[in-house]
Amino acid sequence: MIKAQGLALRFFYGETGMEYNAIVAAPFGPLGVACEAGAVTRFEFLPQGTAPRPSAPGSLAWEAARQVQAYCADPAFVFDLPYRLQGTPHQLRVWEQIAAIPLGEVLRYQDIAVRLASSARAVGGACGRNPLPLIIPCHRVVASGGLGGFNQSTGDETLNIKRWLLRHERG
């Protein structure tokens, strides 16, 4: 975990030693793409200033980067990538609900909690651990009284990404 100005920035760096197959320059900031065994396994928001890193043309990471750029140009773009999610049964159920939220709409953590006979806090925890934001659009889940958190944080760095994504999708 890295600390800057007293704030834990683990949410940017993810697991210790995370390797990215590509780093995409996106309007909201750099995005790390991790692939394993023919599937995309992680998109991770990286610190501003992280240098883009292309991957080999024709590789899965190259295609994932191309699709991220297509989404950034057109919010109606639909991702078509092989991906693998690893999580608890509860997290997988939450991610399935999030994936079904239509473009331009939002649900509250509580809405999903009611559907799953869970709690809003547990839904928020699953949202924060979503390994594939953009594909599983957890930015479309908000708190009852406002924006809520994003990517296991309520800091400006991540909330600015959430705001950008919501504005982008609402046109």
Rg of the chain taking only CA atoms, in angstroms:
15
Strand 3-4 and strand 7-8: the pairing is antiparallel
Catalytic residues: 138
Q: What is the pLDDT of residue 152?
A: 85
Model pLDDT, residue 7: 27
Tokens representing residue 8 in the block: 């834990």
Ranges of residues in the chain with a pLDDT under 70 are 1-17
Q: How many alpha carbons fall within 13 Å on the CB side of residue 11?
A: 21
Residue type, 164: W
Instruction: For residue 142, count other CB atoms closer than 10 A to its CB.
Output: 19
In the prediction, which pLDDT does 1 show? 27
Please say whether the beta carbons of 30 and 50 come within 8 A: yes
Q: Give the closest residue to 26 by CA, choosing from 99, 133, 131, 98.
A: 133
Residues 104 and 170: their CA atoms lie apart, in Å, by: 5
